[in-house]
Amino acid sequence: MTAPGARLRHAITAAAADGRTMSFLGVYDVFSASLAAERSEALFLSGFGFAASHYGLPDIGFISWTDMVDFAARIRTVLPAHHLLVDIDDGYCDVEVACHVAERLERAGTSGVVLEDQRRPRRCGHFDGKQIMELDDFLLKLERVLAARDELFVVARTDATDPAEAARRARAFAAAGADAVLIDGVRDLALLRGLAPELGRPLFFNQIAGGKSPRCTLGELRRSGVTGAIYSTPCLFAAQMAIEAALDALGADDGRLPAPGPGRVGVADCTAVLQRNLERRGRRSHPAEPVPEPAALVLDTDG
């Protein structure tokens, strides 16, 4: 079977050739990944979402690389055919660690990673107070990660807030051989429209509800030259809203569970999701039986 990184590279190349923008839905645990997998062929393992769900802490550098590798492996176990793009922050500080993490994730079946140029203390790309590495230092890390991988798709991300500096770094990342380039927290699509024709690499865009970037449709991103659209936190934020509403309703009705019906999830509905994961695992355990590719869905969401 073709390596996951090679499959993602082919999918991105095909999207660029067709003038399409490929969506990556952000997930925060295996269950949210299972739900998102029914709606998109490509998932983003969000650092913001993982920090919130695994540690209950903000995305300001708490994530351990071992936890993120384990997270990716658990999702790959139940979703053998989807494209999995993993947020690895700054590669967890050291160049050698960044290379090791890339190698471990590739062996775990990850399709690609996003590597950023922040320096510690780091934070979510849509927070204030970001600090970036010297360009030469990040290029060394990027080049070493590219040399360490086999087929892993590497998205090089800059967190520079000055548009001119962001553009300078995007050009340098492309020249260094990154598979794709991402400017995080971009405020104006004009920057991307100007860069896209000259980079010679797919251009990615990351948006988070309430973040610094504009809420864009896939059509708007496509017209701006964006090939990959990352939606970091739609599952996490939707879960927070739904959980709070459900618990409030439970308290308001003296602890009585709501009656079954439309818009309500019961044990059968939840078990059906888990059963599909079990069936996917069973299919993967028989090498003679090809694993079907998930259907590519065109998703238009602000999340």
Residue 84 has pLDDT above 70, yes or no: yes
Query: What digits encode the pLDDT tens for the residues 262-277?
Result: 878 888 888 888 899 8
The Cα–Cα gap between 10 and 15 comes to 9
Per-residue model confidence (pLDDT) at position 270: 86
The residue count of the chain comes to 303
Q: What percent of the chain has pLDDT over 70?
A: 91
Q: Give whole-number Cα distances, 56 to 47, 63, 133, in Å.
A: 12, 11, 27
Query: CB of 105 within 8 A of CB of 145?
Result: no
- What's the pLDDT tens digit per position in 23-52? 999 999 999 999 999 999 999 999 999 999
Q: Which residue has the higher pLDDT, 299 or 127?
A: 127
pLDDT band at 293; cut points 50, 70, 90: very low
C-alpha–C-alpha distance, residues 298 and 133, integer Å: 36
- pLDDT of 284 > 90? The answer is no
Q: What is the pLDDT of residues 203-262, one digit of tens each?
A: 999 999 888 888 999 999 999 999 999 999 999 999 999 999 999 988 888 888 888 778
pLDDT at 285 over 70: no
Give the C-alpha distances (Å, rounded to integers) separating 283 from 29, 73, 110, 292, 293. 22, 17, 19, 9, 12
Distance in angstroms (rounded) separating the CA atoms of residues 96 and 115: 14
* Cβ neighbours for 262, distance < 8 A, ≥ 6 positions apart: none
Task: Say yes or no to pLDDT of 303 above 60.
Answer: no
SS3 at position 236 = helix
Angle separating helix axes 189-199 and 163-176, nearest 10 degrees: 30
Reference 193, options 167, 213, 211, 162; nearest CA is 167
d(CA 271, CA 286): 23
Q: What is the reported pLDDT for 127?
A: 67
Please, how many CA atoms are within 13 Å of residue 31, restricted to the half-sphere of its CB? 9
- Cis, peptide link before residue 121, omega less than 30° from 0: yes
The dihedrals phi and psi of 180, each to the nearest 5 degrees, come to -155, 165
What is the homologous superfamily of the domain 4-240 according to CATH?
Answer: Phosphoenolpyruvate-binding domains (3.20.20.60)
Q: What pLDDT score does 244 carry?
A: 93
The pLDDT confidence band at residue 125, using thresholds 50, 70 and 90, is low
Cβ(126)–Cβ(211) under 8 Å? yes
**Model pTM?**
0.88
pLDDT at 299: 52
Start-end of H helices in 54-211: 65-78, 95-107, 135-148, 163-176, 189-199
Burial class (CB in 10 A: 0-12, 13-18, 19+), 132: buried
Average pLDDT estimate for 270-299:
61
pLDDT digits (tens, 9 = 90+) for 144-193: 999 999 999 999 999 999 999 999 999 999 999 999 999 998 989 999 99
Q: What is the mean pLDDT of residues 79-97?
A: 95
pLDDT at 243: 93
Q: What is the pLDDT of residue 70?
A: 97
Burial (0-12, 13-18, 19+ Cβ within 10 Å), 266? exposed
Give the CA angle between residues 94, 60, 149 to the nearest 5°: 35
More confident residue, 131 or 66: 66
